[in-house]
Structure 1
Amino acid sequence: MTPSQSSAPTDAARPPGLADRIHGGWLGRIAGNMLGKPIEHGDLWTRDRIDHYLRRADALPLTDYLPPPPSAEDAAQLRPEWRSCVRGRVDGSCRDDDIDYSVLVLDLLETHGTDFTTEQLGTLWLRRLPYLQTFTAERAAYRNLATGIKPPLAATTDNPYQEWIGALIRADVYGWVSPGRSRRAAALARRDAVLSHTGNGVYGAMWAAALIAAAFEASGPREAVEAALARIPAGSRLARTVRHTTALYESGLAWADTLAEMEREVGHLHWIHVVPNAAVLTAGLLYGEGDFTSTIALTVRGGLDTDSNGATAGSVAGVLCGAAAIPSQWTEPLHDRLRTAVFGFDGIRISELAERTYRLAAGGRDSPDGPDA
């Protein structure tokens, strides 16, 4: 190679920068959430039923938002929000609790920093979130907080949802502000999760935050999944489920067969429980192999809590590839606009949220704690 033949990568080959990866995480989370939102009812919208719907609409392989319902009967089975979430009708993001919590955590970190307490988070819920826009474990904890019950009892009093997926859906921002620092991300997510969850519910949040943090430096989803597993108890049901799903993938089993096997193992749990959803999410990430569209499509087609799983898968895939590499059919209809129930944030630009998150992440990189504190 002569001196004039530079070995520096071209713009197309250059890995995305931190700001672009964080923006990709936000966009991916929102797009994945909206993809799964119309069919968020795991008892009704099983894997077979989802694929039957897609075949009838001539939408397999799934490469865009869910197609409009082919019949009035189909429309009646979708969530009412479908009118704003299906292809051709997306005009900005739909409001959803999965995204509300990302906005809320950003506000928490901007207000209190990474030294926030669980009690401060609870106070922010009461100030920023409408009670009727909370569900399951979050609603139980909110009710407890409003009646003066403080953490850790806020999570365990009259709360039968302690191991459901709610804490996991709140974890993304902790990963985005901790690029390459999965231990730090998991610790932040744990402090959040114990407000409303225990056991595997808490581990799910730690795992998701660590997964997203690891994705900033991982070579692909397999490496990120492995790094995240190191941040939760190895003997937990969640860890065993993620390892089993990974082993089936590595054995060469097909995606559908892997999910069928995992359904036999953990399908007795509620469709909003964190453990079976972790299996669907892990399979979507691994079989998606880093491709944004394949990742969120497979994850949502896996069923169960489709909008929550789609959101987390989109976040990981968006961090891996960066915002600029996300196909335009997912991002252009969002018009850089977010709907949210969090007081003071409705209508905010997605790019502004990403910029504010980037400032927190860039500042955290200067911490003396080390690369994975």
Structure 2
Amino acid sequence: MTPVGTALPLADRVLGGWLGRIAGNMLGKPVERGDLWTRDRIDRYLRRADALPLTDYLPEPADEHDRVALRPEWPNCVRGRIHGSCRDDDVDYAILGLHLLETHGFGFSTAQVGEMWLLTLPYLQTFTAERAAYRNLTDGMKPPLTATYDNPYQEWIGALIRADIHGWTNPGAPRRAASLARRDAVLSHTGNGVYGAMWAAALISAAFTAPTVRHAVDSALTVIPAGSRLARTVRRVVSLHETRMTWEDTLATVSQETAGLGWIHTVPNVAVLTAGLLYGDGDFTRTVALTVRGGLDTDSNGATAGSVAGVLTGAAAVPDRWKDPLEDTVRSAVFGFDGASITDLAERTLRLVTLRE
């Protein structure tokens, strides 16, 4: 496993996390529909466009059939057409989490998370478990009932994509990061949905000081119940990687073992994420490319993988082909943040770290 090192400035790692999350999200966004864009179909798309191995944003579709199947936002998310990030909930929640901590501090309550949603996030820009919780909030319900009432999405990936800010603001403190992520997650999720958020926050936190990707993955496992399906799935991917099984065969194996959970469920997506991180081995481009090629919730997985890899490598080591098209600008549905500077968001995140210390 390639050593990553710990000597990079904290500011460079925080900015790397933000850039990685946004770039990884943009990479996966055109093919975000795991029931249609399978691993095989994504690779067929890339072969037709002569884009394997994948080392940049997705190419434009090579034929009309693929063009119709892509997400409608694709013209603003493929290489050569990107001018700043597209709006996406995977980035909105990172911004919302930053705003939450700036407003309420690290002692925020789950109720204050819900209040922040109602004040700053449009209802129609929420999905699955978050939309169910939002509806429950407007009906006057309080947490944790907001997560359990008429919500069939409690173990889906939504809480995981909200966890980055807690990792970024708690560098090298995975348990503390996981505790804050849990406080956020229980507004809308239960069980493996909550564990996924805790795991992701701890993983990102550990990436600030971990000597290798594997060390960060192992550290993140310590914050969730060892007997949970999520923990067992992560350990399964780790064990397959240790046998030197190929990335393709590892994903085929865990795909069979998690069949039936659906393409937005936390458990199979964490399997894709873990495989992307381990086989990416600390290289930013390889990590986000393998993760997105893994399919399922491609933009969410690409965003989290990019966040981890960006923290590991630091912003300066993220290749310019990923950074330059973003033009230091992020689109967001969060009230008051559309058009924000990525650099400014990272600096505000760093100030929170400094205040905590």
Displacement of 1:220: 1.6
1:205 corresponds to: 197
Q: For residues 93-148 of structure 1, give each alpha carbon's deviation from its aligned partner in whole angstroms, at most 9, with x where no partner exists.
A: 00000000000000000000000000011000000000000000000000000110
**Structure 1: distance between partners of 2:6 and 2:142:** 48
**Structure 1: distance between partners of 2:355 and 2:198:** 22
Equivalent of residue 69 in structure 1, options 61, 74, 83: 61
Match of 1:114, SS state, is coil
1:87 matched to 2:58: no
2:215 corresponds to: 223
1:193 matched to 2:185: yes
1:323 matched to 2:315: yes
1:118 matched to 2:106: no
1:256 corresponds to: 248
Q: For residues 30-86 of structure 1, give each alpha carbon's deviation from its aligned partner in whole angstroms, at most 9, with x where no partner exists.
A: 000000000000000000000000000000000000000111211100000100000
Q: For residues 227-246 of structure 1, give each alpha carbon's deviation from its aligned partner in whole angstroms, at most 9, with x where no partner exists.
A: 00000000000000000000
Summarize the alignment of residues 325-344 of structure 1 with structure 2, pairs less than 5 Å apart.
325-344=317-336
Displacement of 1:155: 0.3
Q: Confirm or deny: 8 A CA contact 2:328 2:342 kept in the other structure.
A: yes
2:337 corresponds to: 345
Equivalent of residue 228 in structure 2, options 222, 236, 242: 236
1:177 corresponds to: 169
Q: How many matched pairs?
A: 353
TM-score by length of 2: 0.98
Match of 1:151, SS state, is coil
Equivalent of residue 287 in structure 2, options 282, 295, 304: 295
2:24 corresponds to: 32
**Structure 2: distance between partners of 1:273 and 1:348:** 31
**Structure 2: distance between partners of 1:169 and 1:219:** 24
Equivalent of residue 135 in structure 1, options 116, 127, 151: 127
2:297 corresponds to: 305
1:268 matched to 2:260: yes
Q: Confirm or deny: 8 A CA contact 2:61 2:67 kept in the other structure.
A: yes
- Paired residue type of 1:356: R
Structure 2 residues without counterparts, runs of 5 or longer: none
**Structure 2: distance between partners of 1:267 and 1:58:** 31
**Structure 1: distance between partners of 2:347 and 2:93:** 17
2:15 corresponds to: 23
Q: Confirm or deny: 8 A CA contact 2:6 2:210 kept in the other structure.
A: no
- Paired residue type of 2:280: G
Q: Confirm or deny: 8 A CA contact 2:6 2:211 kept in the other structure.
A: no
- Paired residue type of 1:87: R
TM-score by length of 1: 0.94
**Structure 2: distance between partners of 1:354 and 1:130:** 24
**Structure 2: distance between partners of 1:38 and 1:14:** 34
1:153 matched to 2:145: yes
1:6 corresponds to: none
**Structure 1: distance between partners of 2:151 and 2:215:** 35
Displacement of 1:14: 8.6
**Which of structure 1's runs of 4+ aligned residues deviate more than 4 A?**
none
**Structure 2: distance between partners of 1:200 and 1:226:** 18
Structure 1 residues without counterparts, runs of 5 or longer: 1-12, 367-373
Equivalent of residue 56 in structure 1, options 17, 37, 48: 48
Identity %: 71
- Paired residue type of 2:234: V
Q: For residues 253-301 of structure 1, give each alpha carbon's deviation from its aligned partner in whole angstroms, at most 9, with x where no partner exists.
A: 0000000000110022110000000000000000000000000000000
**Structure 2: distance between partners of 1:311 and 1:15:** 24
**Structure 2: distance between partners of 1:361 and 1:246:** 31
